[in-house]
């Protein structure tokens, strides 16, 4: 049975007491920083696909949520939506849909430590956990109302259970492995690449564990079979070609997706690596450690022996990193192209482990220098992510501005929406109960497809001003000259305002794109109002 056991962790490499204390101190600071970063980004205004999650769970009961997700209006499995629905029962805050992601992000950290320690050694476990704590993309996933963070947690749990099952032979660990694998598949479809690789690695490395491994995976497959109609519906959804087009095709789009996976950043404008000194530090630290490891491997027989001891563990971790992008590339050649930055997120199940092993293998001195470079680069990216005025659409602030001033006789016109559903980011926070007009938003339920019916903008504006005491217009990118010469501008279109209408106040909230609220007095003699 010895040959079918996961090798004991490699012995600790020698180092000074100073380096030990530096590693421990850095580990503690990284954990604290990771907690702070996740909590800081958790409170950002909801936007984009998160609004799909919120709209689904707010407008459906639990059974209705699962039923809606099973159709082509949402092309994801249901488990995260179930968690989000349950989380919204804890209060009224829209951010509660992010609670499952936040908890999964926190719970993933000890699993990174367990895996790093089991597969390599304690220092590698510490380094992997520190890297995961301050990784910008993992911080982002932990504060995002979509399934990515939960999927990574379940993949980590599946991997831990798999190794424990092989190591101990106990049936309960095979059961946990099967349940975690099935739960991961119910969370995000891209995890299938990792789960398939896990099984292949098990069959290759541990012949005596093949039967229980196959039984466990058969059980996980049976658990997923009830969702097969939902999976087929999602696969044939008319929104898939739209998402593929938004993601982009060709080498440039694929290169960008890999850069986003490794050096995640939320910023305005087109994606660019120009001036990314944080990414340069990550690359420099990684290359330094890799160079030192290769030199040691060539010169030190004992070190080469240590490398051979962890060979199959290293194969596992490298596979966890590479299998998702490779699988996505292969899938895209004959079916749906899912090669996008966030869709490749399952690779972060292995990236911290691989970096942790590499950096610590460079030794107490060079490893510490390499780890410092990588950590500073990661931390800089995450601190940038937590900066509201650079990375948030500040719809909450705009909504609070309106709620503090608007009266029931006022009207809100929202042309700033970034949403795939009949719920705008402003709606998520606006308590105003008067009339609201959403310019350019299609009517009906999602999915919103090309050619969907869009209300006439001129008619909506005429209705918004008719009988209104005041009109609050919300625009994106801070259109300071929104009203000019008695006309209201939306993009390249201009619409005449009622005679005598004037701007009485304008407030811009800086962020990734500024959100501006313009307050207009219609000056309608039939509706006189008190001066401010």
List Cα–Cα distances, 415 to 171, 405, 427, 478, in angstroms. 57, 19, 12, 12
Q: Is the pLDDT of residue 517 over 90?
A: yes
Sequence-separated contacts (24+) of 394-397 with Cβ below 8 Å: 394/45, 394/509, 394/510, 394/511, 394/515, 395/45, 395/46, 395/47, 395/425, 395/426, 395/428, 395/429, 395/515, 396/45, 396/429, 397/45, 397/509, 397/515
Give the pLDDT confidence of 316-326 residue by residue, as tens digits: 999 999 999 99
pLDDT over 70 at 531, yes or no: no
133: tokens are: 């704590």
What would the two tokens of residue 162 be? 């798999």
Residue 448 has pLDDT above 90, yes or no: no
Does position 5 have pLDDT exceeding 60, yes or no?
no
Residue 439 is encoded by which pair of tokens? Answer: 């310019």
pLDDT tens sequence across 180-224: 999 999 999 999 999 999 999 999 999 999 999 999 999 999 999
| Residue 524 confidence (pLDDT) above 90 | no
What is the arithmetic mean of pLDDT over 14-18? Answer: 56
CA distance 496 to 520: 13
Q: Average pLDDT in the 252-266 region?
A: 93
What is the spatial distance between Cα 56 and Cα 280, in angstroms, rounded to a whole number?
A: 41
Q: What is the pLDDT of residue 306?
A: 58
pLDDT at 26 > cutoff 50: yes
pLDDT tens for residues 457-502?
A: 889 999 999 989 999 999 987 555 577 777 887 767 788 888 888 8
Cβ neighbours of residue 420 closer than 8 Å, sequence gap 6 or more = 48, 49, 51, 52, 446, 447, 448
Q: Euclidean distance between the first and final Cα of the chain, in Å?
A: 83
Q: What percent of the chain has pLDDT over 70?
A: 91
Give yes or no for residue 263 having a pLDDT over 90.
yes
Tell me the domain boundaries of the chain: 48-386, 395-521
Place 523 in a pLDDT band, splitting at 50, 70 and 90: confident
Residue 248 pLDDT > 70: yes
Could you tell me the pLDDT band of residue 271, with boundaries at 50, 70 and 90? confident
| Digit-coded pLDDT (tens) for 350-388 | 999 999 999 999 988 899 999 999 999 999 999 999 888
Give the relative orientation of helices 122-134 and 351-361 as an angle to the nearest 10 degrees: 130
pLDDT in tens, 389-403: 888 999 999 999 999
Say which residue the tokens 């609201």 belong to. Answer: 436
Residue 200: its pLDDT value, please? Answer: 97
- Mean pLDDT, residues 149-159 taken together: 98
The answer to whether 288 and 366 have CB atoms below 8 angstroms apart is: yes
Mean pLDDT to the nearest integer, 40-62: 94
Q: What is the structure's pLDDT at 199? A: 97
Give the confidence band of 120 by pLDDT, cuts at 50, 70, 90.
Answer: very high
Q: Could you read off the pLDDT of 71-91 as tens digits, one per residue?
A: 888 899 999 999 999 999 999
Cis peptide before 118 (omega within 30 of 0): no
Contact 410, 434 (CB under 8 A): yes
Confidence of residue 144 (pLDDT cuts 50, 70, 90): very high
- Mean pLDDT (the chain) is 88
Please compute the mean of the pLDDT values over residues 115-127 and round it to a whole number. Answer: 93
Average confidence (pLDDT) over 497-512? 87
The band of 503, judged by pLDDT with boundaries at 50, 70 and 90, is confident
Give the number of other Cβ atoms within 10 Å of residue 489's Cβ. 15
Confidence class of residue 7 from pLDDT cuts 50, 70 and 90?
very low
Q: What is the pTM of this model?
A: 0.92
- Going from the C-alpha of 261 to that of each of 15, 76, 347, 400, the distances in angstroms are 33, 20, 8, 34
Instruction: State the pLDDT confidence band at 11, using cuts at 50, 70 and 90.
Output: very low
Output the pLDDT for position 303: 61
- pLDDT of 174 above 90: yes
CA distance 236 to 258: 26
What pLDDT does residue 17 have? 66
Q: Once rounded to an integer, what is the mean pLDDT over residues 415-434?
A: 90
């Amino acid at each position: 049975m010895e040959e079918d056991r996961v090798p004991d962790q490699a012995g600790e490499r020698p180092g000074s007491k100073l380096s030990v204390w530096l590693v421990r101190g850095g580990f503690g600071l990284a954990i604290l920083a990771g907690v702070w970063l996740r909590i800081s980004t958790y409170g950002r205004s909801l936007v984009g696909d998160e609004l799909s999650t919120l709209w689904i769970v707010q407008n459906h009961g639990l059974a209705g949520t699962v039923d809606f997700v099973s159709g082509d209006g949402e092309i994801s499995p249901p488990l995260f939506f179930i968690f989000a629905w349950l989380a919204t029962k804890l209060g009224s805050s829209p951010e509660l849909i992010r609670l499952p992601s936040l908890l999964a992000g926190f719970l993933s950290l000890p699993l990174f430590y367990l895996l790093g320690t089991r597969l390599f050694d304690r220092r590698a476990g510490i380094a992997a956990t520190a890297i995961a704590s301050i990784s910008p993309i993992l911080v982002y996933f932990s504060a995002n109302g979509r399934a990515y963070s939960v999927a990574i947690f379940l993949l980590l749990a599946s991997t831990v259970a798999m190794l424990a099952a092989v190591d101990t032979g106990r049936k309960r660990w095979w059961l946990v492995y099967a349940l975690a694998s099935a739960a991961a598949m119910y969370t995000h479809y891209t995890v299938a690449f990792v789960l398939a690789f896990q099984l292949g690695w098990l069959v290759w490395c541990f012949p005596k564990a093949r039967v229980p491994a196959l039984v466990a995976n058969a059980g996980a497959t049976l658990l997923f079979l009830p969702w097969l109609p939902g999976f087929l519906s999602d696969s044939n959804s008319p929104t898939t070609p739209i998402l593929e087009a938004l993601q982009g095709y060709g080498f440039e789009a694929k290169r960008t997706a890999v850069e986003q996976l490794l050096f995640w950043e939320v910023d305005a404008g087109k994606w660019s690596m120009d001036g990314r000194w944080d990414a340069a530090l990550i690359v420099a630290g990684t290359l330094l450690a890799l160079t030192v490891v290769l030199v040691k491997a060539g010169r030190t027989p004992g070190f080469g022996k240590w490398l051979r001891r962890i060979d199959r563990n290293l194969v596992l971790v490298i596979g966890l990193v590479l299998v998702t992008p490779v699988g996505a590339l292969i899938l895209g050649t004959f079916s749906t192209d899912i090669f996008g930055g966030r869709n490749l997120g399952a690779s972060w199940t292995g990236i911290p482990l691989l970096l942790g092993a590499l950096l610590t293998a460079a030794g107490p001195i060079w490893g510490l220098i390499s780890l410092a470079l990588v950590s500073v680069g990661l931390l800089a990216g995450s601190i940038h992510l937590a900066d509201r005025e650079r990375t948030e659409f500040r719809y909450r602030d705009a909504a609070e501005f309106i709620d503090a001033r608007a009266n029931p006789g006022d009207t809100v016109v929202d042309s700033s929406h970034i949403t795939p559903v009949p719920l705008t980011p402003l709606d998520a926070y606006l308590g105003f109960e008067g009339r609201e007009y959403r310019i350019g938003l299609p009517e009906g339920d999602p999915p919103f497809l090309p050619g969907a019916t869009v209300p006439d903008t001129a008619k909506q504006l005429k209705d918004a001003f008719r009988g209104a005491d005041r009109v609050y217009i919300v625009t994106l990118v801070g259109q300071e000259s929104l009203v000019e010469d008695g006309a209201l501008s939306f993009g390249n279109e201009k619409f005449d305002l009622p005679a005598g209408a004037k701007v009485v106040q304008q407030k811009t909230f800086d962020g990734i794109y500024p959100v501006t609220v313009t307050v207009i007095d219609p000056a309608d003699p039939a509706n006189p109002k008190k001066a401010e």
